Amino acid sequence: MTVNFPALGLILLLPALGVVFNLFFGAKLGRSSVNLVGPGVVFVAFAVALVGFIKLLAMPAGGSLSFTLWPWIHAGKFAVDVSLRLDALSGVMVLVVSGVGALIHLYSCGYMGEDPDYARFFTYMNLFTLSMLTLVLADNLLLMFVGWEGVGLCSYLLISFWYTNQQYAYNGRKAFIVNRVGDAGFILGLLTLFSALAAHGVWTLNFVEMRGHIALVGPTIATAAGLLLLLGATGKSAQLPLYVWLPDAMVGPTPVSALIHAATMVTAGVYMVARMSFLYRLTPAAMDTVATIGAVTALFAATIALVQPDIKRVLAYSTISQLGYMFLGVGVGAFSAGIFHVMTHAFFKALLFLGAGSVIHALGGEQDMNKMGALRIRLPITYLTMLMATLAITAIPGFSGFFSKDAILGAAFTSGHTGLWLIGVLTAGLTGFYMFRLFFMTFHGSSRVEHERLHHVHESPPVMAIPLIVLAVLSVIGGWVGLPETMLWGNAFGRFLVPSVGEFKPALEFSEAMLTLISVVFSVLGIALAYVMYIQQPELPGKLADQAQALYEVLLNKYYVDQLYDWIVTRPLFFLSRYILWRGVDTYGIEGVVEGAGLTVETGGGVARRAETGNVQHYAFVYLLGAIGIAAYYLYRLWH
């Protein structure tokens, strides 16, 4: 049942007010006002969302809160409004987005403290929050797309925040354009679905209504729509083939990386698939595609992360890899497991990024891990919190990441996708390795920090430390809502989400404990290897790199995918634009026609003027010719 809850509107209104305030008054009223308003609106939005969520919990299963802000499109039988709906799925997402978002806004007050474009930063961050919340709370696909586009825009604005740097601006453009390719897929999927439904007389894009009539669509359309929407999701959530923007997006400020490229925007794709679970359940083909893309991307990104020297890049590839897990989860039908991982990942990945930001801030901008080391003494809070996050991401039992990744891998196996399960397990091993490689290189070992930087290595101020601590706590306990069936209250999270995304029905029976054990073993092996290579024998990585030079180069250069895309997409497009469209069509064609018109007149005039000889007798001769002509005409008349 649906209850009207006007306060839902506040959840969007508050960030919107934040945008307006920061945009028009932020620069004039100074940092302290922006410090108050920027994070403040998000915190209040979180509070409102929490109130709504509690109300939702009190309702029977399947209930929801809704509110219509204003009517939007009403055309004949088709109607779509700016309406919000808080059900189990969007409730979870709203809390994650606004909660983690609020913490990151708070952190930014410290991190961006000396940046002159302070107000602009928070304007963009608030705008992003507004868009993401719209995306998550939308009750129809069209409004969700508005939010979808909005977060893409804000991603661009924030990646190229320091736009005076050419490379940063380029990376921002790259992110936006790659996203656009995905968006095209999204629109096409939306239209496919819409027209298929409309052909049966159902004119709607509202999720609940679509769900009710989805059987009308038929498996072919469902597959087509599912795959097209998936294309959009791969763009937004950085999966193969449209992941290339995410590593380069790390040039943005670290809070941006944390918020957008770890915790929230990149999860929009997963959310969308979960939201459209009613569609995907109709098409095993599309689901398998989702799962395969997820698993392969997870492995692919993990291999690249093994050798990257930049701390943020390792985290970026780690994000891509973990997102792959989420897609694997929803692809095998375990939608709630995927969303579970979205939540836990938001906690520990945001923490990892903020911690990395803390390290970078302390080192005055250094991001190369080869120039870090032994920082655990100087940065105790950062060290401890990042340890929590690293343990969570490597799925050590008890931590949040363990429960969510375990749920996904278990579902992958028991749904019959054993191959994908194996890939997931291997990736878990790699994850253990590269994450602890990051951890050991940064905080342990001998100090390789440059001498000048060593002096002002200091722990972060409270405004940055508190979010770290909160997120660390969440990274530890956040997974306890989704315990395995046999323990305590079991998978409360999964049960909670059933009305929104349906239930997962395993195809085979297998010992869950055995599966869990296998993946934990792999993770621990990875961690052990990292320990050996980076603490016990630090010269080993160098030697291995020399021995397997070719492989090392390939991994370091990210399989040369960027270069590949450059050759098969970018260059042809540039060529098309520059030589065919610009030179050919525009300069020669259109301008040619326009100038040609003028040229014709000019040439015609040039020819015609030669009749003006200035000699009166020539003119008189023409008269004579005319007279002869007229007489001839009358002669003709006379003759006949």
Site residues, another protein (CB under 8 A): 609-610, 612-618, 620-621, 624-625, 627-628, 631-632, 634-635, 638
Neighbours of 555 (CB within 10 A): 17
Cβ atoms 192, 157 nearer than 8 A: no
State the minimum distance, in angstroms, from the CB of residue 595 to another protein: 24
Cα 215 from chain centroid (whole Å): 30
DSSP state of 201: T
State the minimum distance, in angstroms, from the CB of residue 630 to another protein: 10
Cβ atoms 425, 409 nearer than 8 A: yes
Cis check for the bond before 484: say yes or no (omega within 30 of 0).
Answer: no
- Closer of 559 and 619 to another protein (Cβ): 619
State the minimum distance, in angstroms, from the CB of residue 606 to another protein: 9
State the minimum distance, in angstroms, from the CB of residue 628 to another protein: 5
State the minimum distance, in angstroms, from the CB of residue 184 to another protein: 59
The answer for residues whose C-beta is within 8 angstroms of residue 35's C-beta and 6 or more apart is: 109
State the minimum distance, in angstroms, from the CB of residue 583 to another protein: 37
Cβ atoms 132, 102 nearer than 8 A: no
State the minimum distance, in angstroms, from the CB of residue 578 to another protein: 43
- Closer of 508 and 616 to another protein (Cβ): 616
Q: Which two tokens stand for residue 173?
A: 């453009």
The answer for residues whose C-beta is within 8 angstroms of residue 261's C-beta and 6 or more apart is: 155, 238, 246, 249, 250, 252, 316, 319
Task: Give the β-pairing of 2-4 and 64-75.
Answer: parallel
**DSSP 3-state assignment of 367?**
coil
- Closer of 513 and 632 to another protein (Cβ): 632
- Closer of 580 and 632 to another protein (Cβ): 632
State the minimum distance, in angstroms, from the CB of residue 601 to another protein: 16
- Closer of 593 and 638 to another protein (Cβ): 638
- Closer of 4 and 615 to another protein (Cβ): 615
- Closer of 598 and 614 to another protein (Cβ): 614
Element at 225 (helix H, strand E):
helix 219-236
- Closer of 70 and 634 to another protein (Cβ): 634
State the minimum distance, in angstroms, from the CB of residue 598 to another protein: 20
Q: Torsion angle of alpha carbons 254, 562, 293, 430, nearest 10°?
A: -60
β-partners of residue 254 are: none
- Closer of 28 and 610 to another protein (Cβ): 610
- Closer of 535 and 628 to another protein (Cβ): 628
Measured CA to CA, the distance from residue 552 to residue 545 in angstroms comes to 6
| Closest C-alpha to 438, from 256, 315, 347 | 315
State the minimum distance, in angstroms, from the CB of residue 600 to another protein: 19
Strand extents, DSSP E, 211-304: none
Cβ atoms 98, 111 nearer than 8 A: no
| Closest C-alpha to 267, from 317, 189, 328, 319 | 319
State the chain's maximal CA–CA distance in angstroms: 123
Residue owning tokens 């490379």: 167
Which amino acid, residue 173? R
Cis check for the bond before 247: say yes or no (omega within 30 of 0).
Answer: no
State the minimum distance, in angstroms, from the CB of residue 616 to another protein: 6
- Closer of 57 and 620 to another protein (Cβ): 620
State the minimum distance, in angstroms, from the CB of residue 604 to another protein: 13
* b/e sequence 329-350, b meaning 16+ C-beta within 10 Å: bbbbbbbbbbbbbbbbbbbbbb
- Closer of 199 and 622 to another protein (Cβ): 622
